[in-house]
Structure formats: structure tokens, C-alpha cells
Chains A and B, each alone.
With several copies, the nearest count.
Chain A
Amino acid sequence: MRRFWSPKRTQPAEQPIELRLPSTLGYEKVAMDTVATVAARMGFRPDQIAGLRTAVSEAVTNAIEHGNSGIRNAEVHVVITVAGNALTVRVRDQHYRRFNRGYGYDRPDLERALQGEDVGMGMWLIRQFVDEVEWTGVPGQGNEVRMVLRCQ
């Protein structure tokens, strides 16, 4: 068997892929699908991609339900950057409201949830499936979740 090679192409500048979505539940699926196809083309494993789908879905759902809540014609802005083996996804909303539940460090308290209490688990789920995550907010502007997943 003989193998053939093409000359290596120069790497383009790391311009991001940007996605803007209506701030309506359901559209988080478009973000999830787009990030998943980029990750698949980058060579991530299926289980990593499944986790990334969950992380992106939770981040965009939070942007819609919390960050943009009550803003008419709001949008969610998703910025996808591919650099080497790292995939960075930033999810931005337009409002600013302080994050108030500890950024998902604690495992959701299932006992309390079973008592009917509303325990959030989105941030915690995000934390389980990415290598790096950071929540930042700019007063008067919006919140941003920055998630990084590395290949291999």
C-alpha cells in the first residue's frame, strides 16, 4: 500500500466562528449541533462531544432564561474558536444579573430536589464536561460563559 501526501497548507489566522441566535428556548439546539459538528471535524471523541452538547445546551439555556430574560428581541451570541487542539466556546447574553448559585462547584443536592426544591444543575453539569470554564459578567452589558475542551 502506498500513501500520498499533499503539501501542508498554511494555518489561517484564528478568526472565530460566530453564531447569533434568537433568545428563544429551542434554539439552544442549533448552538449544540453547530459546536458538535465543529468538534467532530476536530476529531474529538464521541463521549467528549456528547458532554460538550450538554455543556453548550445548558449555557445557552441559561443565557435565554436568566441572562436575557425579559429583554425583547434579545439574542444569544456564541463564539467558537478553534486553536490547535483546543475548542473554546463563549456564550454571551445581553443582560447582567449576578450569578448567584456558586458557579456549579457543588453536586446538585438530590435529596432536596426530591423534596420538591428547585436545585439548579446547569452550571454543575457544564463543569463536568469541559476542561475549563469561567463565568464573567460586565455590569450593564452581559454575562459570558467561556468553556474550553481539549482534544486528547
Chain B
Amino acid sequence: MAFLDDTLEVTSRQHGKVTVIDIKGDVTTFADAKISEAYTTATEAGAQQLVLNFHHSNYINSAGIAILIRIVTSCGRNGQKLAMSGLNEHFQKIFRMVGLSQYADIYETEEQAVAALSS
């Protein structure tokens, strides 16, 4: 069933010292393996600044938020800086409501997030 399949694409790339992890699609419980692996790979490569860049993520549920909370925790432990970008208004609001925005700055665009982490 196509619409139940994994409709999430996670890729990562470097932007100077900043690692940008692009997250395209549904952020639900099924996103765990991909997002965690992308984070672990970046960390093993020595990433100190990370941006989670959401594109067209029209669907993030509480299980997806729980994944992001675990990334925040790991970043804290590993002394990494974390920012998020590309969230639509609704999810920016939810991230603020939940308090996630205290642990990872939220920017409209990837460029703003990269600039902030680079400075």
C-alpha cells in the first residue's frame, strides 16, 4: 500500500562546518531508523553543528516529536549545536508549545539556520 510505505527521505550534506540533514516526508514512528542513522553517521564523522531541515513535512506526529527529542538529548550529551529549519507554521507552533524550541533554535530557512550555527 503505497501510502503506508515509508514516504520519508532523509539525506545529509555538508555546508562548511555545518551538517544539514534534510528530512522530506512524514515524521512518524517509521522515521526513527533513518533519522537516527543520519544523526549517528554525522556524529561519528565529527559533526559539531547540525541542522535538521524539514521540507514539505506536512505530517509530524507525537511519535515523530519523540524521535526529535532523542536527537536533542544526544546533541546535549555530545556537546553539539542543533538548529531546525523549514518547518511550516503549525509545526513551529507545536515545537514551541512542547518546549523543543528551547533546545534547538528554529529558523524559517536553511540559510538562516546555517548562518546562525556558523557564526
- CB of B10 within 8 A of CB of A47, answer no
- In whole Å, how far is B76's beta carbon from the nearest beta carbon of chain A? 7
B117 sits at the interface (CB 8 A)? no
- CB of A113 within 8 A of CB of B69, answer yes
Chain A residues positioned under 8 Å from B72 (CB to CB): 114
- In whole Å, how far is A65's beta carbon from the nearest beta carbon of chain B? 9
- CB of A12 within 8 A of CB of B6, answer no
- Main SS of the interface on chain B? helix
- CB of A26 within 8 A of CB of B3, answer yes
- CB of A42 within 8 A of CB of B3, answer yes
CA distance A32 to B59 in the complex (A): 10
- CB of B3 within 8 A of CB of A29, answer yes
A-B pairs, 10 with minimum CB distance? A41-B3, A26-B4, A50-B90, A6-B33, A42-B2, A4-B34, A110-B99, A4-B10, A82-B1, A4-B38
- CB of A25 within 8 A of CB of B90, answer no
- CB of A121 within 8 A of CB of B3, answer no
- CB of A113 within 8 A of CB of B66, answer yes
Given contacts A26-B3, A110-B98, A114-B73, contact A3 B10 (CB under 8 A): yes
Residue of B61, B62, B69 touching A114 (CB-CB under 8 A): B69
Given contacts A3-B9, A3-B10, A6-B34, contact A85 B2 (CB under 8 A): yes
- CB of A41 within 8 A of CB of B2, answer yes
A34 sits at the interface (CB 8 A)? no
Interface contacts (Cβ under 8 Å), in number, total 120
- CB of A6 within 8 A of CB of B3, answer no
Chain A residues 6 to 21 lying within 8 A of chain B, measured CB to CB, are 6-9, 11-12, 14
- CB of A120 within 8 A of CB of B2, answer no
How many residues of B are in contact with the other chain, CB < 8 A?
46
Given contacts A4-B10, A82-B2, A121-B98, contact A54 B90 (CB under 8 A): yes
Given contacts A1-B12, A58-B61, A114-B103, contact A9 B2 (CB under 8 A): no
CA distance A50 to B100 in the complex (A): 19
B57 sits at the interface (CB 8 A)? no
- CB of A24 within 8 A of CB of B33, answer no
Q: A4-B38, A107-B97 are in contact. List 19 more A-B contacts (CB 8 A).
A: A1-B13, A2-B12, A2-B13, A4-B10, A4-B34, A9-B5, A25-B4, A25-B29, A28-B61, A32-B59, A43-B2, A47-B89, A53-B59, A61-B62, A61-B63, A107-B98, A121-B65, A128-B97, A151-B2
7 contacting pairs across A/B (C-beta < 8 A): A4-B34, A8-B6, A29-B26, A42-B3, A53-B59, A61-B61, A110-B102
